[in-house]
């Protein structure tokens, strides 16, 4: 039994905005019923390009229905430009977290929204703004890596980068890629290796560009900023959280909260995610230690 939040169950049992907008201004369709999940999103916009109505039709599990319902509630009242900045992490956070094995449902919602926005702009001959063009252009681009579920290398790389994924299993949870016959696992791993290598090069470049020695106060402030910007949002996707307890020399003491507290994967979370982020954005010598608090 999946550990669903109350909000996920509420949106599953009482989904909002089911159906189709009459004479929609934008339509986004993703997934395939033969693969287990499919979503059709329809939008109605006013003259200011604000979303005044959003409806969905979903074939899928409880998480797919809940994610689609949450998506329509989240974007109503937004302009197209605001909606284009929605990520799968925003959907999961809106639902107070999703099981990692069900994160592909939030990705499907994000893809449907981007497909709808892209269709709206194509029909009007509009080009996407520079900061959105790459995201919207990803829909038809890329080569199929997972033929069982029709997942492209472009989507795998993007989701791995945006969600800090490190294993093939995580990629499967977020995109379904690799969840069928398994013949694409080597290709998925090659994409992950490239993403991780680029991440490390970017971190080294940042450190080389800023070789200054931090004071204790500067270090603590930078640790707090990094936790807030780079770490906490990802943990909250799965219903977890983190608290900075103390900093002693190069040791950062933290307490895990929510679903992360007592999780069997807490060691992995601390060493391969939290510690990696603090080393990347603060100082490469830092180590992380978990403190059990009430």
Evaluate whether 95 touches 70 at the Cβ level (below 8 Å). yes
Name residues whose C-beta falls within 8 Å of residue 36's C-beta, 6 or more positions apart in sequence: 60, 61, 176
Residue 146 lies in a domain: no
Q: Which of 139, 167, 194 corresponds to the end of one domain?
A: 139
Whole-structure pTM value: 0.66
Give me the CATH number covering residue 113: 3.90.1010.10
Which entry of 61, 105, 148, 184 is annotated as an active-site residue? 105
Give me the CATH number covering residue 280: 3.30.300.130
Kindly give the pairing relationship between strand 37-45 and strand 287-290: unpaired
Token code pair at residue 178: 């690799």
- Mark whether 202 and 221 lie in a shared domain: no
Residue 1 lies in a domain: no
Name residues whose C-beta falls within 8 Å of residue 98's C-beta, 6 or more positions apart in sequence: 4, 5, 8, 63, 67, 92, 105, 106, 237, 238
The full length of the chain comes to 294
Residue 189 lies in a domain: yes
- Mark whether 19 and 108 lie in a shared domain: yes
Q: Which residues pair with 290 in a beta bridge?
A: 254
- Mark whether 29 and 110 lie in a shared domain: yes
Domain that holds residue 187: 151-209
Q: Which of 169, 186, 209 corresponds to the end of one domain?
A: 209
CA distance 170 to 183: 16
- Mark whether 242 and 203 lie in a shared domain: no
Residue 262 lies in a domain: yes
Evaluate whether 274 touches 242 at the Cβ level (below 8 Å). yes
Write the DSSP assignment of the chain as a string of letters.
-----HHHHHHHHS-SSBS--SS-SEEEEEEEGGGTEEEEEEEEE-TT-BEEEEEEEEES-HHHHHHHHHHHHHHTT-BHHHHTT--HHHHHHHTT---GGGHHHHHHHHHHHHHHHHHHHHHTTPPPPHHHHHHHHTTT-S-EEETTTTEEHHHHHHHHHHTT--SHHHHHHHH-TTSSS-TTHHHHHHHHHHHHHHHHHHHHHHHHH--PPPPHHHHHHHHHHHIIIIIHHHHHHTTEEEEEEEEETTEEEEEEEETTTT-TTHHHHIIIIIHHHHHHHT-TT-EEEE----
Give me the CATH number covering residue 199: 1.10.10
Torsion region of 273: left, alpha or beta (phi above 0 gives left; psi -120 to 50 gives alpha): alpha
How confident is the model over 222-270, as pLDDT tens digits? 999 999 988 888 888 777 889 999 999 889 999 988 877 766 567 767 8
Segment 170-186 shows an average pLDDT of: 93
Highest mean pLDDT (candidates 99-108, 183-192, 195-204): 183-192
Which entry of 35, 61, 148, 263 is annotated as an active-site residue? 35
How confident is the model over 50-84, as pLDDT tens digits? 999 999 999 988 999 999 999 999 999 998 888 98
State the pLDDT at residue 265.
63
Query: Of residues 211 and 208, which shows the higher confidence score?
Result: 208
How confident is the model over 97-143, as pLDDT tens digits? 898 889 999 999 999 999 999 999 988 887 655 444 444 444 446 78
35 is catalytic: yes
- Mark whether 166 and 192 lie in a shared domain: yes
Half-sphere exposure of 19 (CA within 13 A, CB side): 7
- Mark whether 107 and 84 lie in a shared domain: yes
184 is catalytic: no
CA distance 244 to 223: 9
Would you place residue 162 in the very low, low, confident or very high pLDDT band (cuts 50, 70, 90)?
A: confident
Q: Which of 139, 164, 187 corresponds to the end of one domain?
A: 139
Number of domains in the chain: 3
pLDDT tops 70 at residue 182? yes
CA–centroid distance for 74 within its chain: 15
């Amino acid at each position: 039994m999946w550990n669903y939040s109350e909000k996920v169950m509420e949106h599953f049992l009482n989904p909002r905005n089911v159906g189709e907008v009459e004479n929609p201004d934008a339509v986004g369709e993703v997934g395939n019923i033969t693969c287990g999940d499919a979503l059709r999103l329809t939008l109605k916009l006013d003259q200011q390009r604000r979303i005044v109505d959003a409806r969905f039709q979903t074939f899928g599990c409880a998480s797919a229905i809940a994610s689609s319902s949450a998506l329509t509630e989240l974007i109503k009242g937004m302009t197209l430009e605001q909606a284009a900045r929605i990520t799968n992490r925003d959907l999961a956070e809106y639902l107070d977290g999703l099981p990692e094995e069900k994160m592909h449902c939030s990705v499907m919602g994000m893809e449907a929204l981007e497909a709808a926005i892209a269709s709206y702009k194509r029909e009007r001959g509009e080009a996407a703004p520079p900061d959105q063009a790459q995201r919207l252009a990803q829909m038809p681009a890329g080569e199929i890596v997972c033929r069982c579920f029709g997942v492209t290398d472009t989507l795998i790389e993007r989701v791995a980068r945006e969600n800090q994924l490190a294993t093939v299993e995580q990629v499967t949870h977020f995109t379904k890629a690799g969840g069928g016959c398994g013949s694409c696992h080597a290709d998925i791993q090659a994409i992950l290796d490239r993403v991780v290598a680029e991440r490390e090069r970017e971190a080294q470049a940042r450190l080389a560009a800023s070789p200054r020695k931090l004071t204790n106060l500067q270090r603590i402030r930078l640790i707090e900023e990094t936790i807030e910007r780079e770490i906490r949002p990802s943990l909250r996707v799965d219903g977890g959280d983190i608290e900075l307890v103390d900093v002693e020399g190069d040791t950062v003491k933290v307490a895990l909260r929510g679903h992360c507290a007592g999780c069997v994967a807490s060691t992995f979370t601390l060493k391969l995610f939290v510690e990696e982020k603090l080393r990347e954005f603060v100082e490469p010598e830092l180590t992380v230690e978990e403190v059990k608090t009430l």
